[in-house]
Amino acid sequence: MRSGASAREAPTSSAAASLVLAGARSPLERLLHALNQPLTGLQCSMEVALASPRTAEQHVQRLREGLELTERMRALVEAIREVAQSGAERDRDEDGEAIELNALVREVVADLKPVAEVKGVGLRIEGGEGSSLWVKAGRGSLPTLVFRMLESALSLADGGSPLRIELSGVADEGWIRMGWHATLQANDFSRAELGLLVAEAGWERRGAKWKRERAGNRETVMVQLPTLDG
């Protein structure tokens, strides 16, 4: 049995790898895998607390550790719920309307500009001028998905650095590419990290391909999606 301390101090980078790296697992599978770590840590912490008499200070420390692990689990469970809901939204999108993606992205960027200015992140759109990328989706679900993706990337971007968004497409395929410099002290279970994972699940349910790469503190996400021809 591991001690409660060792469970709590397990390297966060392991969790990051399970959440961020694409691999063969789906976003839902990665979330469920990530949920196992805090669950195991909480169980070990409780077992250690009951194994022998403890001082009041030690019990308080165990409670703090348990609270930290519980908060992490709540964030993961909420992300799992969102991924499950995205399946129902995808089913509704089968009968959705055609939406011009370039215009939608620009609307979302305009909404996020005040947040970007407060954080000191330059929000830039490159490409997409004079072209149209039409996709079929529910009027409510696709804007929510685009907003969640861009808001998460903005939250992860380091203050004073740019968040570049490139729009392009040919024939029946379109691309959204985002690039940013990540903050040095990233929280792998933050709302923003989980938000990108939820966005990945949402795009993949719509037939898109999601690719996320890290090179040092430079991050890139590309979404390649089918569009409506003509």
Write down the pLDDT at residue 152.
95
State the residue for tokens 């410099």: 181
pLDDT at 74: 92
Residue 167: phi and psi, rounded to 5, are -115, 130
Per DSSP, 25 falls in state S
- pLDDT the model gives residue 139: 62
At 22 the three-state DSSP class reads coil
Region class of 66: left (phi > 0), else alpha (psi between -120 and 50), else beta: alpha
Q: What CATH architecture does domain 93-226 belong to? A: 2-Layer Sandwich (3.30)
Q: Give the 3-state DSSP-derived string for 172-225, with helices as H, strands as E and coil as C.
A: CEEEEEEEEEECCCCCCCCHHHHHHHHHHHHHHHCCCEEEEEEECCEEEEEEEE
pTM over 0.85: no
Strand pairing category for 122-127 and 134-137: unpaired
Alpha-helix runs per DSSP H in the chain: 4-8, 12-20, 27-51, 56-93, 101-119, 141-156, 191-205
Per-domain residue ranges of the chain? 4-92, 93-226
Please list the ranges in the chain whose pLDDT falls under 70. 1-24, 87-96, 128, 130, 138-140, 184-188, 229-230
**Cα 198 to Cα 202: distance, rounded to the nearest angstrom:** 6
pLDDT given for residue 189 in this prediction: 74
pLDDT at 12 (0 to 100): 39
Between the alpha carbon of residue 165 and those of residues 109, 116, 125, 189, 207, the distances in Å are 9, 13, 5, 24, 21
